């Protein structure tokens, strides 16, 4: 029987430490070829909507997962079907809004663990939505933060974000009047916006900063200006293939210069120790996150196992009426 796991049940069994371990573990397996990732593809729908899909397979664990979601009239709906390789069975259909927020935050946490300076104590978060919350939560899990500066365009949301995250993380989370004020002096900068134009400028960044840019995943959208990208000594991505298709921050900054792409490194290779990440405390490091299906797969496997153990979810009687063609 296929298990339907709803959003509330995902929230019940999944937390950030768990997601961090899952993403880091599957990144190592991706570097060895045990995990294979198919990049995101899109269908453009009417009224400016999109249908997105991507997939990953973990050959050692024996699971395949899809990530599929729609964006129509301002509404996002996420779903992760999880399959077992040995039987071909559809094990679970998982509602995946919170799952996606956690795995994206966890990926930035893993990148921060390997790329940010050990003595990083001040973070800046640009954005105040659900993704911004998990970005800050993940960074705080891998570095001993003393404070975080936050900027978002909506003053009320910015204030509420700071109050909520201060209480949750027990650090000073401070509203800023602009993105420039927020990133000034910050050791770690996370951008989690829906902007199509730069929200972080190289001129405002501190020396030796680490940047996680996660919001823009279309070729014509960017959160970082050219200077912010060109200042980076180390540029790391989740997937070079996917980045060349949709990482607008890099596509626009590189301006069709193929030489720029030759130095871009994959996060999985950094995690596995196949290539270096940060090599000195003076370097600027950048992680451009597009979001890849291996992260969804890693977290979905754990959500499914926990839901089975806790007897959560509802069984769906797919393919029980016979074995017709």
In three-state form (DSSP H/G/I as H, E/B as E, the rest C), the secondary structure along 258-295 is HHHHHCCEEHHHHHCCCCCCCCCCCCCEEEECCCCHHH
76-103 per-position pLDDT tens digit: 999 999 999 999 999 999 999 999 999 9
- Residue 258 makes CB contacts below 8 A (sequence gap 6+) with none
User: In the prediction, which pLDDT does 46 show?
Assistant: 84
Residues 302 and 185 in one domain: no
Q: Are 186 and 122 in contact (CB under 8 A)?
A: yes
pLDDT confidence of residue 114: 98
- In-domain check, residue 111: no
Co-location of 302 and 282 in the same domain? no
Tokens (6 digits) for 263: 């130095």
Cα gap 325→309, rounded to integer Å: 33
CATH code of the domain covering residue 11 = 3.30.1780.10
pLDDT at res. 35: 98
Question: Are residues 49 and 31 located together in one domain of the fold?
Answer: yes
- Both 219 and 148 in one domain: the answer is yes
Q: Which domain holds residue 26?
A: 2-100+293-316
Residue 323's pLDDT is 56
**271 and 311 both lie in a single domain:** no
Placement of tokens 């900063």 in the chain? 209
Contact between 249 and 213 (Cβ < 8 Å):
yes
State the Cα–Cα distance between residues 40 and 214, nearest whole angstrom. 15
**Does residue 160 share a domain with residue 82?**
no
pLDDT, residue 283, reads 98
Domain assignment present for 108? no
Does 323 fall in a domain?
Answer: no
Q: For residue 325, tell me if it sits in a domain.
A: no
Structural domains of the chain, count = 2
Determine, yes or no, domain membership for 109. no
127: number of Cβ within 10 Å? 28
Does 107 fall in a domain?
no
Nearest partner of 94 among 304, 324, 290, 319, judged by Cα: 304
Question: What pLDDT was estimated at residue 60?
Answer: 97
Q: What are phi and psi of 223, to 5 degrees?
A: -110, -15
205 and 82, same domain (yes or no)? no
Who contacts 23 (Cβ-Cβ below 8 Å, separation ≥6)? 103, 106, 107, 109, 110, 295, 298, 299
pLDDT score for 324:
53
Same domain, 283 and 297: no
Q: What letter does residue 323 receive in the DSSP assignment?
A: -
- Whether 238 and 179 share a structural domain: yes
Which residues are bridge partners to 264 per DSSP? none
Instruction: Say if residue 214 is in the same domain as residue 256.
Output: yes
pLDDT at position 322, please? Answer: 59
Are residue 41 and residue 139 in the same domain, yes or no?
Answer: no
Q: Please report whether residue 163 resides in a domain.
A: yes
In a domain, 284, yes or no: yes
Cα–Cα distance measured from residue 27 to residue 266, given in angstroms and rounded to the nearest whole number? 10
Among 284, 288, 246, CA closest to 264: 288
Q: Indicate whether 190 and 301 sit together in one domain.
A: no
Q: What residues of the chain score a pLDDT lower than 50?
A: none
């Amino acid at each position: 029987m296929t298990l339907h796991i709803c959003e509330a049940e995902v929230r019940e069994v999944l937390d950030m430490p768990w997601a961090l371990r899952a993403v880091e573990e599957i990144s190592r397996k991706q570097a060895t070829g045990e995990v294979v990732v198919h990049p995101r593809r899109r269908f453009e729908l009417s009224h400016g909507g999109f249908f997105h899909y991507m997939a990953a397979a973990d050959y050692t664990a024996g699971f395949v997962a899809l990530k599929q979601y729609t964006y129509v009239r301002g509404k996002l709906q996420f779903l992760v079907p999880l399959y077992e390789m040995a039987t071909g069975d559809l094990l679970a259909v998982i509602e995946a809004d919170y799952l996606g927020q956690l795995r994206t935050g966890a990926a930035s946490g893993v990148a921060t663990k390997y790329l940010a300076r050990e003595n990083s104590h001040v973070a800046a978060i640009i954005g105040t939505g659900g993704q911004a919350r998990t970005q800050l939560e993940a960074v705080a899990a891998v570095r001993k933060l003393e404070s975080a500066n936050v900027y978002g365009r909506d003053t009320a949301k910015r204030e509420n974000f700071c109050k909520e995250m201060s209480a949750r993380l027990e650090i000073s989370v401070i509203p800023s009047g602009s993105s420039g004020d927020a990133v000034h002096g910050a050791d770690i900068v996370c951008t989690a916006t829906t902007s199509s134009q730069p929200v972080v400028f190289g001129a405002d960044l501190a020396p030796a900063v680490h940047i996680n840019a996660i919001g823009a995943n279309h070729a014509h959208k960017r959160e970082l200006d050219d200077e912010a990208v060109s200042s980076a000594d180390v540029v790391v991505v989740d997937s070079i293939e996917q980045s060349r298709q949709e990482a607008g921050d890099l596509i626009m900054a590189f301006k069709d210069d193929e030489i720029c792409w030759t130095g871009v490194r994959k996060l999985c290779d950094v995690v596995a120790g196949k290539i270096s990440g940060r090599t000195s405390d003076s370097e600027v490091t950048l992680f451009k996150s597009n979001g890849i299906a291996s992260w969804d797969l890693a977290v979905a496997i754990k959500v499914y196992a926990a839901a089975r153990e806790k007897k959560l979810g509802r069984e769906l009687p797919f393919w029980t009426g016979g074995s017709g063609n």
